Amino acid sequence: MKKIKAYWQKNPKKRKLMMFGVVVVGMALSFGLYALAQSFIDSFLDTTRIANTWNVNVDTGAGEIKLADKTCDDGVWFCSLSTTCTNSLGDGTNIIVKRVNETGSKQWKPTNTSCDKPNCATDGGQDGDGYPAQDACKMAGGRLPTISELQCIYANRTIFGNNFGTSGYWSATENSTTYARVVYFDDGSSSSSGKTNSFSVRCVRGW
């Protein structure tokens, strides 16, 4: 030990170089640890890491916490990881369809007047307030399907439970100041109807 101490006392330049090296290595280690910690933080903020999960339930088995696998077959919405109808509103890639109609028939709007702007936009962007058919879907956690989505639901009705009956269904698509679009599930035809008329409602959600 005395020899080592004497060596460093006789070689001040080497002692300084050694101390400089220790400082550099220490700074490098500190930076590396910081970068590692930051990567962990960023991983929790990166939403692409949960693209295939619903941010709902967690699995705490074996002391591990993770998001549950993405699924919506919960007895309320009829869907799978590969749904059939394309989303035309941009709140998802596809749509999922509620398993049953909303109770009773609904008016599209209580008066035959133009849809309120800006909440009511092309293809049914209305926020629901004051629109009975849309309100029903809003309460159910979804929205009215657009006319193209509703026509797709009709074409694939056997996949979506095949329990629609033959009545007309409101779409979210406004046709004019006084009319909105309807699809009839007896033959798949579509037409425009006065907004105060009442039709069945089947809600959808973006997926």
Please indicate, yes or no, whether the overall pTM of this predicted structure exceeds 0.85: no
> In terms of residue numbers, what domain contains 23?
2-45
User: Quick check: is 151 in a domain?
Assistant: yes
Type of residue numbered 187: D
**pLDDT band with cut points at 50, 70 and 90 for residue 55:** very low
What region, left, alpha or beta, does residue 104 occupy, with left being phi > 0 and alpha being psi -120 to 50 degrees? left
- Joined together, the tokens standing for residue 33 give 């640890």
Residue with the bigger pLDDT between 64 and 85: it is 85
Q: Do residues 33 and 88 both lie within one domain?
A: no
Give domain status of residue 60, yes or no: no
List the CATH number of the domain containing 189: 3.10.100
pLDDT digits (tens, 9 = 90+) for 107-149: 999 988 887 665 565 555 555 567 899 999 989 989 999 999 9
Amino acid, single-letter form, for residue 144: L
12: preceding bond cis by omega (within 30 degrees)? no
- CA 170, 172, 177, 181 torsion-angle sign: negative
Phi and psi dihedrals of 63, rounded to 5?
75, 10
39 plus 88 within the same structural domain: no
Bridge partners (DSSP) of residue 86 are: 94
Q: What is the domain count for the chain?
A: 2
